Amino acid sequence: MVPVPGDRGRYCDRVARRILLLNGPNLNLLGTREPDVYGTDTLEDIVADLTAFAVERNAEITAAQSNSEGGLVDLLQEARRWADGVVFNPGAYTHYSIALRDAITAIELPVVETHLSNVHAREEFRHRSVLSAVCLGVVAGFGRTSYFVALEGLLRHLDP
């Protein structure tokens, strides 16, 4: 990366952005869970590739997954102390968790709601998200690529 003249260290000296990649319930089963809907990559595959993608963009990924709503609230609250932003696939909690909505609001970090599938093309109960309104943005329907689009959007938001 070439520094911008007169803009000392805009690229080279900038501290890497720290991003929490957070996945909710049943996403630990990626690879074998409904592969026609969610693809055949495991969560570990996606984390490894997203980590490499992040390094190219001067960002560091810390990945976490929890099947429990409280566990996700705890991880979001902890992120407030160290992260610059969150790429978050909340799984089924997307559609009804006011606790996660309140946590996203409380931590005052940019959060990108991310889904592998196009939730709007699926069952009606998946059309509603109680989280979207308090997120920076939403990416859905691109399979594993949704995570990369979400990360790119988040990093461009942080460093326009």
Site for ligand DQA in 96-115 (CB under 6 A): 115
Query: Can residue 28 be called a binding residue for ligand DQA (CB under 6 A)?
Result: no
Which of 1, 10, 9, 159 shows the shortest CA–CA distance to 85? 159
Query: Can residue 91 be called a binding residue for ligand DQA (CB under 6 A)?
Result: yes
Longest dimension (CA), the chain: 53
What DSSP string runs through 108-149? T--EEEEESS-GGGS-GGGT--SSGGGSSEEEESSTTHHHHH
- Minimum CB separation from ligand DQA for residue 37, in Å? 7
Per-position x/- string for 115-144, each x denoting binding to ligand DQA as judged by CB under 6 A, each - no binding: xxx-x------x------------------
Query: Can residue 89 be called a binding residue for ligand DQA (CB under 6 A)?
Result: yes
Return phi, psi of residue 4, to 5°.
-75, 130
Q: Which of 38, 120, 127, 147 is catalytic?
A: 38
Q: Contact positions toward ligand DQA, by CB under 6 A?
A: 26, 89, 91-92, 94, 115-117, 119, 126
